[in-house]
Structure 1
Amino acid sequence: MKEFYILKILDLFKGIYKSFGINYEIMRLIIQSKLIIDSRREPNTVNSDREVKDKNYFYNSLIVYAITGLCSAPLIAMDINPIIKMSLYFSFFMIMILSVFISDFSSVILDINDKDIIATKGVDNKTLNAAKITHIFIYISLLSLAICGGGLIISIRYGVKFSLLFLVSIFLIDILMIIVTAIMYFVILKLFSGEKLKDMLNAFQILFLLLFIIGYQFVARAFTFVDLKFIYEPKMWNILIPPMWFGANFNLIKGTEVNIIIKIMSILSLAIPIISIIIYIKLVPSFEYNLQKLNDNTYKNTKIKESISFKISKILCKNQEEKVFFDFVYSVLSKDRDFKTKIYPSLAVGALMPFIMMLSMYDGQGIENYMISIRESSYYLMSYLGVLISQNIITTIKFSNQYEAAWIYDILPIKDKKNIYIGMFKGSIYKLILPIFIVMSIGFIIIFRDNVIIHLTVVFVSIIITSMITFKFNEKKLPFSSEYTNANAASNIVIMLKSMLPVGILALIHFLVSKSMLYTCIYLIVLLLFIKLIWNKVFTIYN
């Protein structure tokens, strides 16, 4: 069996695993097998003539994460109070790790196949769960090193102690994020069952990610900017902010403004990860037992919703083939929990991010004055953040856990392959983007009143245009025909980066015409004509 270098590093911690009553040899064998399976996964199965062996696509994605991490690396080079720059840096890092963890690795924690297959061979729950968590930790650690590679290089200028502390902090954060998330999953598994359980898991994933994004605003407000300098004045509420726990350690080694609050936060940075590990180990048997609740695959009665969607598809689709695939995509998206786990958190972030940005701009001069200043501004153009974040939807539709069933496309009597993609496009816009956009629009209408409706209409049409461009210039795969891989989040980042240019151009033009209602209406008409002009060219596939 193929040996991995990472397993030799894992062997150094063999004693720690055994001290917790884990059968290390069995755990190592399970992890080794999982790594081999990961390396042999072919992400695309339909119309693929390539033979791929021993290639883990996650490793290729690390390049994307490394480039993304460079955006935050300059924070470490700033000549300011260490707790300020490191707290801001770790906030960014936590959000990145959590978003990837929820979208790509939550399904591993909640996987019930190992218990059905491996546990029946005499492997105890503690060893099985340790293999599961360690498997995730290996990938999260590699991901963390990629994201923090630039920061680690910059940290060398401050000495070996600073760099080592930086590295230790990264791994402590990884442990904290994985274990705390797993414990929260346990609470939900314990409290709910059936269909309600699966709904609550999706809701938790969204709320947990939003909690950290909103928490970033509190980190920023922990510091003040006076005379072109960042100033930190310790406050008791700071101990509730996890990124500041790890930032506080750098004040200790630098001897900068050390006080009781700094010391408390420093203790928490080590104590909480250790305590969370101990708690989780105690909960493992109950956690694995409650995971069996996920075997309940019954669905809610969606007869009313489906009948409405069928009527909508008759209106939106011009022929029967389009309608069939519209209804097919809508139906699968309504039931596929794994897909919801991967896409709903980013959709929720996209919808709420404009409001979070506006909230962060509050200057403390009174809510009434702030609302007046907002209504006189063009802050509604922040809705284009939602346009950008939504761009990974069209390319994510190709993934499914039941991707083997994609052979059905080869035997169906499909007259024009274009109808598959058009039905997919319309169904995903209707099912995923439209509801979130309506929720976001309600918020903007409350803030900016009814004169913002025309601008929101322009934004929605812009979503359709950018989604068409995203579809045109990215790999085209049939709906639900490819296997999920642990590199999906990286590909989503690439898609967002590629979408920045068209989204930026549309937002800029919208800003230039926004002062005139007449020009805005003309711009809307031009966008609609543009869609009509390029529609057939976008969805015509020649291969």
Structure 2
Amino acid sequence: MNEFFVLKLLDRLQGGFRRMGVDYPVLRSILQLKLTMDGRRTPTVLAGGKESKQNTEGSPFRIQWIYLLLGLVLIAFVVPEGNYLFSMSITFGIAMFMISTTLISDFSSVMLDLRDKNILFVRPVNRRTLNMAKSLHILIYLFTLTLTLMGPSLVFSVFKQGVLFFLIYAAEIILMDCLILVITGLIYLLILRVFDGEKLKDIINYVQIILSIGITVGYQLISRLFNLADLSISFKPAWWQYFLAPVWFASPFERLLGETRSDNLTVMAVMALVVPVLLLAVYIKLMPLFERSLQKLAEQGVGGKDSGRLPRRLSEIVCRSKEEAMFFRFTWSMMRNERDFKLKVYPTFGLSLILPFIFIFNSLSSGNMDAVRNSRGFLFIYFSALLMMTAVQMLRYSTSYKAAWIYKAIPIRETAPVYRGMLKAAVLRLLLPLFVIESAIFLWLFGVRLVPHLIIVLLSLLVYSVLCFRLLPQALPFSEKYSAARQKDFTGSAFVQLFILILFAGLHYLVTLIPFGIYIYAPILVIANWWLWSVSFSDAASRPRQIPTLRL
């Protein structure tokens, strides 16, 4: 195995580990194995970027060049002198967004892993050594990722801002990493204490989604801290700023190096030190409880009752044939039970839900709420269809892809009912609930005058769903493994799909300029839906079917 540089650094601290009751030689061996195995794991960020054969080589650290490029951009925020609160809030906001989402997507599986316990607990390895190995493994990854992202601006700050700025910056980076790791761990511990078994595994997926959405919304709030009118930057204290961690980490710069000496900055500067250290102490204290709670992941919980009455009734209403209804129910069931599908698609569901309102929220800065209600800001609802770009793409993948041999065994005369039932299930299970939620909020914001426009939007999104299907390579539902996804197959089509979505919003805007335009546009969309849903799948059925061969 490789002799990693970080292990040589830990060798110098082995005395401290021994005093903590850790068996250092065993700890070193476990860490060496974990770091070696990282070299064979495909990062989620790059999942789908290469063929599966290529994905067997590399590691999560292969994405470092992406963070290095972004780290070079962060240099621009440490260059200006003065307004440290503004520049460093943006810097830490970007850093926390990138690091948190990467930790959630790539290393939650490490935090919640039980395999090392099943292997090592039957050997003479004490729990303290194993727990320390897991924590150090995550910290090594986290610090390596952070140094790649923030290292360029950290080094540049020595020459531009001086040694004091550099020392504050380095200390804040360490505290930021501790805060990210501890908050993630404590949230998982809370979930572990409340739920168990299979239900817990589903809850963890939803927690990852909520964390991603929360980080995105929090990042949007950072820009609200400052008044940028007339090219002047001014800070306006408010109570909700105490909940934004990037502002905590930016406060010491302004308090020690800037010109502002307000009590608000003093309190937040103290929070930047006290909160991470206090939470880290709590996390260390609760670590044995966390490890014991992880055993719930091995339990097989009793799943919730699902008679399938709803998908059966819907399939009877919207499907043309028994074959189409069968694959409608099959796709519906797979979307409900396929955990990897939910993990990859549901975050997009959350972002599609909040993105239209973020645009509306941004428009409030240039006018009052009455001006927004009388505007055409309701067209932002089209961005909810970004969900279909991801959902239609991921409908072809499954962790149980080897079962796709069943497509050859059952008597399918044509694949048109398969594709049609698949897409209808995706629309009714994913797109329609999202559209209903957003429509209710938009009606509250813009009033009942929006009803005809929402009908136009729904008809447009149905057309758009078919176009998303047609633009992607065709494959039977859940018949390919995730690692076989090739990014080059989807990158070009994603730009086309986004352009088409913007085009639909543009057409809607144009028809609002024409008297009774929406009442003329609606029948056109109805005809377009009828035609596309009739011919698109028959055309797709004539293409060669991609069904993997079962290998025994």
Which aligned pairs between 1:79-478 and structure 2 lie closer than 5 A?
A: 81-141=83-143, 143-144=145-146, 158-159=160-161, 161=163, 162=165, 166=169, 169-193=172-196, 197=200, 200-234=203-237, 238-252=241-255, 254-294=257-297, 295-303=299-307, 306-362=308-364, 370-388=368-386, 390-403=388-401, 405-406=403-404, 408=406, 414-416=412-414, 419-474=417-472
Q: 1:505 aligns with which of 486, 503, 506?
A: 503
Q: Is the CA contact (8 Å cut-off) linking 1:64 and 1:493 kept in structure 2?
A: no
Structure 1 residues 479, 498: closer, same or farther in 2, change over 3 A?
same
Offset, 1:184: 1.5
Gaps of 5+ in 2: 547-552
* TM-score normalised to structure 2 length: 0.79
Name which one, 1 or 2, has greater alpha-carbon Rg. Answer: 2
Offset, 1:436: 1.8
Deviates more, 1:56-65 or 1:379-388: 56-65
Deviations 1:1-56 (A, max 9, x none): 3455565566676666556544444444444444544544589999x997447513
In structure 2, C-alpha distance between the alignment counterparts of 1:180 and 1:30, rounded to whole Å: 25
Deviates more, 1:89-98 or 1:428-437: 89-98
Which AA in structure 2 matches 1:347?
F
* TM-score normalised to structure 1 length: 0.80
Q: Is the CA contact (8 Å cut-off) linking 2:356 and 2:380 kept in structure 1?
A: yes
Which AA in structure 2 matches 1:291?
L
Residue 517 of structure 2 is matched in structure 1 by: 519
Residue 536 of structure 2 is matched in structure 1 by: 535
Deviates more, 1:382-391 or 1:371-380: 382-391
In structure 2, C-alpha distance between the alignment counterparts of 1:185 and 1:70, rounded to whole Å: 33
Q: Is the CA contact (8 Å cut-off) linking 2:22 and 2:128 kept in structure 1?
A: yes
Offset, 1:217: 4.8
Which AA in structure 2 matches 1:513?
V
Structure 1 residues 14, 97: closer, same or farther in 2, change over 3 A?
same
Q: Is the CA contact (8 Å cut-off) linking 1:403 and 1:481 kept in structure 2?
A: yes
Deviations 1:213-259 (A, max 9, x none): 34345433332234321112455653332111111233256344244
The two structures, once aligned, show a CA RMSD in angstroms of 4.3
Offset, 1:441: 1.2
Residue 550 of structure 2 is matched in structure 1 by: none
Which AA in structure 2 matches 1:427?
A
Offset, 1:385: 2.9
Q: Is the CA contact (8 Å cut-off) linking 1:195 and 1:300 kept in structure 2?
A: no
In structure 2, C-alpha distance between the alignment counterparts of 1:108 and 1:457, rounded to whole Å: 46
Gaps of 5+ in 1: none
Across the two proteins, how many residue pairs are aligned to each other?
535
- Does the residue aligned with 2:302 lie in a helix, a strand or coil? coil
Offset, 1:191: 3.0
Q: Is the CA contact (8 Å cut-off) linking 1:141 and 1:174 kept in structure 2?
A: yes
Identity over aligned pairs, percent: 31
Deviations 1:439-489 (A, max 9, x none): 11111122222332333334344444555554455566654455667x999
In structure 1, C-alpha distance between the alignment counterparts of 2:447 and 2:509, rounded to whole Å: 18
In structure 2, C-alpha distance between the alignment counterparts of 1:509 and 1:150, rounded to whole Å: 45
Offset, 1:87: 0.8
Offset, 1:188: 2.3
Deviations 1:301-334 (A, max 9, x none): 111xx12212322443444444333322211222
Offset, 1:88: 2.4
